[in-house]
Amino acid sequence: MSSNDRVDDDLQEWWIRRVFGGVTFVISLGIMALGLFIQYQARHQTGDVICPELFLDESTAHGDLEISEMGTVVSNTKRYVRRHRFNRYHGIAGMFSLGNAEDFELSFGVFFEIKKRIKRQDISLFEIAFAEKKSIENDVLNWPLKTVLSIKGKKCRDKNICIAVEENGMSYKEVEISKSYSDISYIGVITILKRNENINIYYYDRTQQCNLLLKLSEIHIFNKNLRSLYGIMENSQNARVTLSIVRDAKNLERFDEMTSHKDVFTSGDGHAISNFNAGPNFKRGGRHEQAYRGVLADVSFKQNDNKTDQIKPYYFEIQFLFDVNLREFDSKDTVFEFGFAPKHLREKHSNLKYHSDALLATVSRCTKRLRLCISYWQNGTEHKLNHPIGIYEPKYENFNLTFGLKIDVTGNEASVYHIGSDNKDILHTFISVSFTRPLYPVIGVTDKSFVKARLLTKTFVTRVYSVFGFFTYPPICDI
């Protein structure tokens, strides 16, 4: 082979490497760009609307209503929504099913103030525990519950208070957190960190030093039936106790007010419990005295002070399932209603539609006809009368209707949609809506018949749809 041929071969090989390297570089850039695009889209939703995470706020419920464990369903009967309150156990269950999480981090603020000398050795001031769901749901709950893992604050060494860790009733470790009863109060944080099957438990107090309480390796206790459980001292004459969830991006936990003991106070946001009335937002378990026969969602919509920051409209859906015999209703009797209202109205008024600050769509029996109609109320006035909805049927059994709500804070509008099996029709738009005061989604139900309402909000499928532009089934937030 001549030298010229070798040069030509080398030159050709160089060009091949150069082209191949360029193609590889372009592909790498493309993959990187796609990754950045996916990450961006996951954080910044595409489309015309934002889908907020909505839950029903059990602290605002009327006393006769039932709310589901996860805060997504409200009902005027126990037929579909079971409410269970602890009888003997002075505590409350969490909303977070631990068996559904591979790894998690839960942090709990602990406060107690000794009011009177504690004589009994077996009494706990507080308990953070994990138990099988079937143990929590027993009709007769015994103290102590059978827990698989428990962190307790209790009397130890006669005059001291310790944190103790137990697994399946076996005591692992005790650490003093107060040296004597002269240390009458304690404020600290307990953190439970799960990585794979390893559990690390930390605590720190006023010294702001994080201390490892206990490390458990390969314990394999977490399964789909495991729930979190929190208890506090039953006698507030001995000690005032408060447990609170440290709110951060990693925490998914909330206290479930529907499982609380009747003597336990819970905060309105579901993130603190106490054995005394710790503040104006705390309510005693088992007692709701609200005027409005309904419930609010846990988010509000308010005008942005920065006029240049144009935000997308919000959108969510509500599904109603009901059994209604319209012969039992008078003309214009409301079966259910939904819309927006300031938070203070539900405490003072049993009927919201006549108030100038509320926006409501009411579904009721049409005048003189056995049919459901929908009306719209703004500024205390009915704007659209007796618009027929659904089918002509004097008696409904397991009938459902789904409505969409689109909130345009920037445009001062709120629209109502009817969601069919294959279509989505706009029914009405409230105009000139003031969002200077926060407006909360509100749902009201009748006391004459069975009605169940369910909030439909953002799902993982929606986020996948936002990124890739396709979905296995239609996402809720596609308007």
- Measured from the Cβ of residue 283, the count of other Cβ atoms closer than 10 Å reads 20
Q: Which CATH class is domain 86-284?
A: mainly beta
Q: Closest Cα partner for 230 from 151, 120, 112?
A: 151
Share of the chain above pLDDT 90, in %: 12
Instruction: Give 363's pLDDT tier (boundaries 50, 70, 90).
Output: very high
Q: What average pLDDT is seen over the chain? A: 76
| Burial environment of residue 58 by CB neighbours within 10 A (0 to 12, 13 to 18, 19 or more) | buried
pLDDT of the residue at 94: 83
Mean pLDDT value of segment 31-35 = 44
Span(s) in the chain for CATH 2.60.120.920: 293-468
Structure tokens at 243: 């447990």
Domain 293-468 in CATH 3.40.50.450: no
Q: Is residue 77 scored above 80 in pLDDT?
A: yes
Q: Is residue 115 scored above 90 in pLDDT?
A: no
Q: Is residue 351 scored above 90 in pLDDT?
A: no
Q: What is the pLDDT of residues 429-453, one digit of tens each?
A: 999 999 988 999 999 998 888 999 9
- Alpha carbon distance 377, 385 (integer Å): 10
pLDDT of the residue at 113: 86
Q: What is the pLDDT of residues 157-198, one digit of tens each?
A: 777 888 888 887 778 888 888 766 666 778 888 888 888 878
Structure tokens at 124: 């706990």
pLDDT of the residue at 228: 82
Q: Closest Cα partner for 427 from 452, 450, 406?
A: 406
pLDDT of the residue at 10: 57
Q: Name the least confident of 216-225, 376-385, 429-438.
A: 216-225
Q: Is residue 390 scored above 60 in pLDDT?
A: yes
- Measured from the Cβ of residue 476, the count of other Cβ atoms closer than 10 Å reads 19
Instruction: Give 207's pLDDT tier (boundaries 50, 70, 90).
Output: low
Higher-pLDDT residue of 358 and 28 is: 358
Higher-pLDDT residue of 36 and 297 is: 297
Q: Is residue 26 scored above 50 in pLDDT?
A: no
Q: Which residues contact 254 (CB under 8 A, 6 or more apart)?
A: 71, 94, 95, 96, 245, 270, 271
